[in-house]
Structure 1
Amino acid sequence: MIVVFDAQCLLCNAWVQFLLPRDRAGRIRFASMQGRTGQALLRQAGLRVDGLQTLLLVDGDRSWQHTAAIFRVLHVLGWPWRLAWAAWLVPAPLRDPLYRWVARNRYRWFGRSEACLMPSPDVAARFLD
């Protein structure tokens, strides 16, 4: 399972930092959309890096975006994060516009870094590129 994220987005980096200690089994790997692997995965999913406003989750030949990606990742983390599945009761056409609104404003609200996240040596193998 690979999370493709915007390494320049401080909100996205916070998401990765949230996931790392909670994925004790190390099932989630990470690829920045600025890297070769991340760009290849985005192309494979039919997405462009320019103006991208979603998190992409890739698991084998399947991929998910927006809130579906978040819920699948939280499911992998186990209890208590699996409780997020209750949000599936809200239809995606209602959930995803809020997600896209936050994504459009992420740099303005949370900031942007020109330097990419440098993982610590104990988790570096989980980052592709």
Structure 2
Amino acid sequence: MENTRIYYDGDCGFCNASVAFILKNRKHNNYKFIPLQSSKAKSDLEIYNIDLSDLSTIYTLTEDKLYSKSSAVLRLAMHLKFPVNLCAIALFVPKPIRDFVYNWIAKHRLKLSKQKCYLPNLDERKMFEF
């Protein structure tokens, strides 16, 4: 798998917990975690005309293909350890249905998890860009 850049809301506790979950369940170290609020996200995503004022969407960029919302989450799941990778089967569900669920979770994400900051270990710190 090529390097995958993961753009997430760096100020969201639910999003930070999701990053910690990915780090815990990853099969490899080919990830770069980039907060949407960073200058790196702005420079990377400007060619895709992404509105960075909307922090409710996760994006993944792999091999010059940008995925968002449920597609980004499920494509990430595909490359995580078993049994989490089984969630990728949901890619067969039509995108409007998947994104409806994603949007509901995104709308309530600040209530779903308390604000906390994950502190990556030394090896994991190499996977973060700002």
TM class, shorter-length: 0.7 to 0.9
Verify the 8 A CA contact 1:56 1:64 in the aligned structure 2.
yes
Q: Distance in 1 between matches of 2:47 and 2:108?
A: 26
Aligned-partner residue type, residue 121 of structure 1? L
Q: Distance in 2 between matches of 1:11 and 1:96?
A: 17
Runs of 5+ consecutive residues of structure 1 not aligned to the other structure: none
Aligned-partner residue type, residue 33 of structure 1? L
Q: Which residue matches 2:96?
A: 93
Q: Which residue matches 1:54?
A: 57
Q: Where do 1:1-129 residues align within 5 Å?
A: 1-112=4-115, 117-129=118-130
Verify the 8 A CA contact 2:27 2:79 in the aligned structure 1.
no
Runs of 5+ consecutive residues of structure 2 not aligned to the other structure: none
Q: CA deviation at 1:112?
A: 4.2
SS in 1 for 2:49: coil
Aligned residues: 127
Runs of 4+ with >3 A deviation: none
Aligned-partner residue type, residue 90 of structure 1? V
What percent identity do the matched residue pairs reach? 26
Distance 1:63 1:81, change over 3 A: same
Q: CA deviation at 1:77?
A: 1.5
Q: Which moved more, 1:32-41 or 1:100-109?
A: 100-109
Q: CA deviation at 1:50?
A: 1.0
SS in 2 for 1:17: helix
SS in 1 for 2:44: helix
Offset from partner CA, 1:61-95 (integer Å, 9 cap, x none):
11100111011111112432221122123211111
Offset from partner CA, 1:28-60 (integer Å, 9 cap, x none):
221111111122233233211212321000013
